[in-house]
Amino acid sequence: MPLIYLAVAALAIGFEQLVQWKFGPMGIIAFLALSIGLKAKNTMISGIGAVILVMLLAQ
């Protein structure tokens, strides 16, 4: 079971680094807002993060 948690953490860190490399600081802010909103079950914050990520992807 700890191996699964380690693999998920490694994937999350890898994805975060990819977002930062590709989209810069605004991508990290959007990713953090999305993940914090999902963990807190706050649809407004997660929606803001998702919209920012979509806008960055649409460029």
Domain locations in the chain as residue ranges: 2-57
CA nearest 27: which of 37, 38, 36, 16? 16
What average pLDDT score do residues 3-25 get? 82
Q: Give the whole-angstrom CA distance, residue 20 versus residue 48.
A: 18
**Top mean-pLDDT range of 17-21, 22-26, 49-53:** 49-53
pLDDT band at 1 (very low <50, low <70, confident <90, very high): low
Encoding tokens for residue 54? Answer: 């979509």
Q: Give the whole-angstrom CA distance, residue 54 versus residue 59.
A: 9
Cite the beta strand spans of the chain per DSSP E: none
Taking the whole predicted model, whether its pTM rises above 0.95 is answered as no
Q: Give the whole-angstrom CA distance, residue 24 versus residue 40.
A: 25
